Amino acid sequence: MPTAPSRPAPSASSRMAAVNEMTRLLRLLFEVERDLVRTLPTLVYRVGEPELKYLLCQHVWESAGHARFLRERGRELTTFGTTDAVREPIRRLFTEAVGAATADPLVIAAGFYEVLKPALLAAYRHYLEVTDPLADWPSKKLVEDFVADEERHLREIAPHLAGVDAREWKLHLTQALDDLGGWLGQETRLPLAAGYVWQQDLTPYTHPATCNRAPYPVCSSVFGLDPREDPIVRPWLTDPQTDARVIRLMVYVWLMMEMDAIDYLATVFYDTPAAPFDLHHDLARHLWDESRHSQFGFRQLPKLGVDLKTVEHSLDLYHILVQMPPHERYAMMTMEFEANSFPTKATVMDRVRELNDFEADTLLAFDRNDEQNHVRYGHRWLPEMMAMFGEERPTEEFVAATREKFNRLAGLYGGRTPHSLPREQRLTGDKLRRIAGI
């Protein structure tokens, strides 16, 4: 009796084909979210409206969370990979989306929010359509949450983009995305026309020399020594004779001006493309924390009688730090500004507690808690960031040298922004005393 022909033994990959295909899609989704976190912050310092800055910071943080959970889930499956690398076609498209520093930032935002993020939403929905709802239950539940986030992001940004004519830029990005067939390759691929020109090849992106704070007035710094000129009078912060109501107002101005930190920290993401994702994840949390701190002041000052249109926004820190490489910017932020703020803020917190203002106490306590975490981030990531840029000095020596460099650059780039408002109109320490009823 003839024997049946033997069948070749199935390969391990064929046995796991269903898992491998879904893992491939998860990996692509991770890479898209991961590079969105790298590039979306370039909008933060280019848009002016504070509410839009805050919203962008929130979306960056939520995208970082998506990427983190996608990676965690992916690593539970085979073939996901152990690195955070982003494949070149995805990275090239996000780099293109950053646009030129001189372009209308709302047009650039429309490219992200009306082309790239809707395509990401479509990719998540595609994943839900093709995965098995029981076998891949953990991924399904994550992706369902991410779909809800992406839908909300589009709703939240829509009022800020109403009336923006971005047709040409959106078509440009759509053509590049169509060349990929969508983020997951799930659409029919439409190859780029022979005459397509990548803008990044013509003009590589560089950070603008100044950050955008329109429609608010600006100045060099809100800190000073003269109560007739500046709203935060440095000696008053720690003077036991200063009325606690004035200190509360000054610290809210200080918190609102953490918008400085938002703008210059946002520049670090794009300048560290080779950073591990965990570094960008913590930078995203840091960015969102500073955004919340700025909102503490932005939302509380009007309740206490301050007209926000009289509060000038300080530009010095951005002007100086943008002249420095990213590891020096990060060193100044974490190891200098934040690490050295605790003694003064502790005094301020004790004085504000005299007012029995539970809301103020709560906001200041969370600000302090967050800042302590930020210094921990600095200790964790500054050495790695230094290594990325070939810096071999001990961290303490590097920080000391960076502090000296900052002081030199402050003499060149600081103090160059005149007051937008005359003394009679702008908020000053003397006016804060009157607002406080003194």
pLDDT in tens, 377-416: 999 999 999 999 999 999 999 999 999 999 999 999 999 9
| Rounded CA separation 90/87 (Å) | 6
217-260 pLDDT, tens digit per residue, is 999 999 999 999 999 999 999 999 999 999 999 999 999 999 99
Q: What is the DSSP letter of 161?
A: H
- pLDDT of 13 > 70? The answer is no
Rounded-to-5 percentages of helix, strand, coil across the chain: 65, 0, 35
220 close to 231: Cβ distance less than 8 angstroms: no
For 218-435, the fitting CATH number among 1.10.3470, 1.10.760, 1.10.10, 1.20.910 is 1.20.910
In the prediction, which pLDDT does 351 show?
Answer: 97
312 close to 263: Cβ distance less than 8 angstroms: no
292-304 pLDDT, tens digit per residue, is 999 999 999 999 9
CA distances from 50 to 205, 265, 294, 328, 340 (A): 23, 15, 9, 26, 26
> Region 34-49: what's the mean pLDDT?
98
In the prediction, which pLDDT does 239 show?
Answer: 96
Q: Which CATH class is domain 17-193?
A: mainly alpha
Where in the chain are the domains?
A: 17-193, 218-435
How is residue 351 written in tokens?
Answer: 């004085």
| Rounded CA separation 385/389 (Å) | 7
- pLDDT of 11 > 80? The answer is no
> Region 139-158: what's the mean pLDDT?
97
- pLDDT of 198 > 90? The answer is yes
Cis preceding linkage at 418, omega within 30: no
311-339 pLDDT, tens digit per residue, is 999 999 999 999 999 999 999 999 999 99
Provide long-range contacts, Cβ within 8 A and 24+ apart, for 182-187.
182/119, 182/122, 182/123, 182/126, 183/28, 183/29, 183/32, 183/90, 183/119, 183/120, 183/122, 183/123, 184/25, 184/28, 184/29, 184/123, 184/126, 184/127, 185/28, 186/122, 186/123, 186/126
Q: pLDDT tier at 271 (50, 70, 90 boundaries)?
A: very high
Q: How many CA atoms lie within 13 A of 362 on its CB side?
A: 6
139 close to 127: Cβ distance less than 8 angstroms: yes
* Nearest one of 321, 346, 323, 347 to 334, comparing CA atoms: 321
262 close to 43: Cβ distance less than 8 angstroms: no
In the prediction, which pLDDT does 18 show?
Answer: 87
- pLDDT of 113 > 90? The answer is yes
Average pLDDT, the chain: 96
> Region 84-97: what's the mean pLDDT?
97
Kindly give, in sequence order, each residue whose CB lies less than 8 Å from that of residue 319, ignoring residues fewer than 6 positions away. Answer: 209, 210, 413, 414, 416, 417
414 close to 319: Cβ distance less than 8 angstroms: yes
In the prediction, which pLDDT does 281 show?
Answer: 98
In the prediction, which pLDDT does 15 show?
Answer: 77
160-190 pLDDT, tens digit per residue, is 999 999 999 999 999 999 999 999 999 999 9
Kindly give, in sequence order, each residue whose CB lies less than 8 Å from that of residue 85, ignoring residues fewer than 6 positions away. Answer: 31
Residue type at 166?
Answer: A
Question: Backbone phi, then psi, for 232, in 5-degree steps?
Answer: -105, 105
| Rounded CA separation 128/150 (Å) | 14
How is residue 143 written in tokens?
Answer: 């992706």
